[in-house]
Structure 1
Amino acid sequence: MTTITWRKSSYCQEGEACVHISTGPDGVHITDSDPARTVVTVSRDAFAALLKSL
């Protein structure tokens, strides 16, 4: 079983809702500080397109 290592957004301040991102062989995992910790996994290409559009 692979352990996911999360990186917190550099724009996050203490106590705020934050975006967390992790990469793996199956794509890019995205979640936030919500206690439910719902994880969305997208392809690297889809994530790159999202960043380009922002």
Structure 2
Amino acid sequence: MRTSQWQKSSFSGEGNACLYVSALDSATIRLRESDEPDTILTTTPTALSALIRSAKAGRLDHLGTA
């Protein structure tokens, strides 16, 4: 696997609740959390964009309720 720079989300504060993102190329985005840096989620820009749009629109709000 190629190495790439990890960038911390601008919405992450200080501490252990940070989200990092890295792009291997124009078709592959990797995400990891500071608490579990060895666990990496790989996705595409299109899929990540759809997830972010859905979250912003509130279409995922029901997932956080018990």
Q: Which residue of 1 aligns with 2:12?
A: 12
Q: Which has the higher helix share?
A: 2
Alignment: residue pair count: 54
Change in 2 beyond 3 A, CA 1:19/1:5: same
What TM-score does the superposition give when structure 2 sets the normalisation length? 0.67
Dislocated runs of 4+, deviation >2 Å: none
Given residue 47 of structure 1, which amino acid in structure 2 is its aligned partner? L
Following the alignment from structure 2 to structure 1, what is the Cα–Cα distance between the partners of residues 35 and 16? Answer: 10
Give the root-mean-square deviation of aligned CA atoms. 1.7
**Residue 47 of structure 1: CA displacement?**
0.8
Report the identity percentage.
35
**What stretches of structure 1 of length at least 5 have no aligned partner?**
none
Q: Which residue of 1 aligns with 2:40?
A: 39
What TM-score does the superposition give when structure 1 sets the normalisation length? 0.78
**1:1-54 CA-partner distances (Å, limit 9, x unpaired):** 521211101122221311101112241100000245200101111111111112
Higher relative contact order, structure no. (Cα contacts within 8 Å, ≥ 6 residues apart): 1
